[in-house]
A and B are shown apart, each in its own frame.
Chain A
Amino acid sequence: MTDQTIFLGAVAYDPKVVTIWEGMREHFREQGVPMDFALFSNYERQVETLLKGHIDVAWDTPLAHVRVKHRTGGKSLSLGMRDSDCGFRSKVVVRRDAGIQALSDLQGKTLAIGSRDSTQARILPLYYLNQEGIDLARVKLLPFDTDLGKHGDTGTSELDVLAALNDGRAHAGTVGDLVWVTEQSAGRVDSNKIEVLWTTPGFDHCMFDALPTLPKEKFEAFRRALFAMRWDNPRHRRLMELEGLREWVQPREEGYQSLVAALTAAAEL
């Protein structure tokens, strides 16, 4: 293994992660960019490993991304993101029989929420509800802290929220919009029972992060190989489907401001 090999970290939130990164490694090799990867069981360890300089690039959730940014004094490098990472939203969904017509009706009701490290299922929907003037101390929260350390990647806590609504343990719940429409598209939501009440403003999701000390050649080679992937290429497409994107897009930072604000307010950055 030479010095030019880009050493990437990703979190193994699902067995498919191995398939994705073996495929990506092969794709990078075909592009003349040597790349290898290590899988972590949680984002906290991955962030620490990146900050120590033991890996070159980390494939980070929004929570991990803003922490890397914060810990490097805003100097970390952002290399790219998925088209699907842009304009994420969260939903407040309600049981039709719960008598909730507006956000203010949530007071006194049970609100199912996802894992405490899930940006879309807990951190930002609660932040935005607070911004809307909802006193969360007067809402009964029903948390589902599943798969902690995975930052909501598994989607399990969001499915837990929907299940709690379906069987009446909660009157309302917070989920990310992708899980919500995916479950609806697949016909797994009983729309006679559950409907959407409110949508949060947009925010951005995952990002490839690197330390500012990443050599320029690696920075450029990584982006060259990444952006060479095409949806209409059958071999690329398989990896892109697994990773949940159709195009890699340029990084942007403004989509993380609400998360920074939420974490700052909670002193959790």
Chain B
Amino acid sequence: MSSPGAGSTAAVAIDGGDLPLGGGLLALVRPALDLLEPAGVLAILTSARSVDEDLLAWCRLERHEYLGSEILPDNRTRHLVARGRLSGVSGERERAINLPRREGRLLTADLLAAVPMPEHADPSSGFAPRGAQVEPGGPQYPFSLNERDRVAPPEVAQLYDQAIAAQWDASRDIPWDKVRPLAPALERALGQIMTFLAENELSALYVPSRFLPRIHPAYVEVAQFLATQLNDEARHIDVFLKRARAGGGGVGVSSATTSHSLLSLLELEDFTEAAFLLSVLGEGTFLDLLKYIEHYAPDEATAELTRRARLDEARHVHFGMAHVRHALAHDDDLYGRLEAAVRRRAATLHNVGGVPAHLQDSLTILAARDANPTAVRRGHEAFRELLESMHEQRVKRLLNAGFTTEQAQTISDLHTPNFM
């Protein structure tokens, strides 16, 4: 077999030995053609006679152009195939990626720097990893967060690296053998506080998970960070419920106030509003609450678990702040929308009352450590100071996120009495 094209030169040549087309040769031919531009020519050297029969049909199937063949002096055949214009994927294959090692570690932040996020992402690229050559013709995916500035603050990969390095084990890393029997009133108060914490952390597990499948995979670091956040919350739920029961007591009351408040978080449909209400305001307020519980903790185990939870929550607050700050810088209308979201939520929660009574009493008893009136007065003072410091810290965080003093005051005042 021979044809006019057979004598022309090829950009790439492969040696197929005696491999039949369906016996392994395609594993050499297909990747070689993928590296060529359309019309680029591949030479295939073969001693398998069946390839002479099969290659033309395969080219027809795959819309490559079979240019012809020639017999070489050593009796092998040299076939020439031009890559078809309707074959294979378009775009450049990723190359020359240089990832630094930092004390043996390969950081996600460096990966992100090497392969930056696009400003806009195409929902038809599906679950293709960022940088992959995407074959056209794939279906549209239901991703709705397809714009970098609405999803991904620049520091997300650093936060992910930190989150991964800071994971801990609620079974092993808490000095559970330091839990000692407490006075019944204090034990019940602690059980109530842990119930409240676990309930709120359940919402912090569920709320971000609703947004995860909406994030375009081009911004995978955001999804990865949220995955660490979900894992943190799962661990917090675990550790709080363990503490509620480790002293022999148990869980307490779930109040209607808390339930209303958390439902209004779960019903949010906007990712940035959710990040703001949950992470900046809710988890931000929780930092003060956890600090309070750690400070007045009746035993080392309680202090350690609230300390660890607080460090995790601080990371979530950091991400929420970064997200909101970045989004505010790219969207002039966002201030108004966030304030409106806070007002809507406050209106929904109108009439639900103040801090849930069971929680308030328990936080008072925790700080009092004792049921005598003098101690309880001290506990009550501590609780009042907690509310004040929560408000002050919220205002600080809001200022830091870019709100004016007046906006920060208003938003903080409107924040749910449930803390989260």
Contacts and interface: CB of A to CB of B under 8 A. Distances in A.
Interface string B52-74: 01101110110100000000000
Contact of A234 (B23, B58, B60, B137): B137
B137 A238 contact: yes
Contacts of A182: 61
Interface residues of B, number: 20
A196 B86 contact: no
B57 A247 contact: no
Contacts of B137: 234, 237-238, 241
Interface in A24-68: none
Contacts of B26: 184-185
A87 interface: yes
Interface string B95-130: 000000000000000000000000000001000000
Contacts of A89: 56-57
B251 interface: no
Nearest to A240: B137
A104 interface: no
Interface of B is mostly: helix
A214 to B, nearest CB: 30
Contacts of B57: 89, 91, 177-178, 180-181, 199
Contact of B22 (A189, A197, A241): A189
A232 B63 CA distance: 14
A188 B58 CA distance: 15
Nearest to A87: B60
Contact of A231 (B23, B50, B54, B86): B86
A195 interface: yes
Contact of B86 (A185, A192, A246): A246
A198 interface: yes
Interface in B15-33: 20-23, 26
Interface string A60-93: 0000000000000000000000011001010100
B136 interface: yes
Interface in A160-192: 177-178, 180-185, 187, 189, 191-192
Contacts of A184: 20-22, 26, 54, 58
B54 A181 contact: yes
Nearest to A238: B137
A199 B53 CA distance: 6
Residue in B26, B57, B60 whose Cβ sees the most chain A Cβ within 10 Å: B57
A187 B21 CA distance: 10
B373 interface: no
B53 A91 contact: yes
Residue in A89, A178, A191, A246 whose Cβ sees the most chain B Cβ within 10 Å: A191
A247 B60 contact: no
Interface in A68-123: 83-84, 87, 89, 91
A184 B21 CA distance: 7
B58 A181 contact: yes
Contacts of B20: 184, 191, 195
A191 B57 CA distance: 16
Contact of A246 (B22, B54, B63, B124): B63
Nearest to A189: B22
B4 interface: no
Contacts of B63: 83, 246
A231 B136 CA distance: 9
B298 to A, nearest CB: 63
A196 B50 contact: yes
Contacts of A232: 136
A185 B22 contact: yes
B83 to A, nearest CB: 13
Nearest to A246: B86
B29 to A, nearest CB: 10
B138 interface: yes
A163 to B, nearest CB: 16
Contacts of A187: 22
A234 B138 contact: yes
A7 B151 CA distance: 50
Nearest to B84: A246
A223 to B, nearest CB: 20
Nearest to A234: B137
Interface in B274-314: none
A185 B124 contact: no
A135 to B, nearest CB: 23
A247 B60 CA distance: 13
A91 B22 CA distance: 15
A67 B396 CA distance: 85
B86 A247 contact: yes
A177 B62 CA distance: 12
A218 B56 CA distance: 37
A189 B139 CA distance: 31
Contact of A196 (B53, B61, B138, B139): B53
A45 to B, nearest CB: 31
B411 to A, nearest CB: 44
Interface string A236-269: 0110010000110000000000000000000000
A178 B136 contact: no
A59 to B, nearest CB: 21
Contacts of A185: 22, 26, 58, 61
A185 B86 CA distance: 18
Nearest to B59: A181
Q: Which 4 A-B pairs have the closest CB atoms?
A: A184-B22, A191-B23, A177-B57, A237-B137
19 contacts: A84-B60, A181-B54, A181-B61, A182-B61, A184-B21, A184-B22, A184-B26, A185-B58, A191-B20, A191-B21, A191-B22, A196-B54, A197-B53, A199-B56, A231-B86, A234-B137, A237-B136, A237-B137, A238-B137
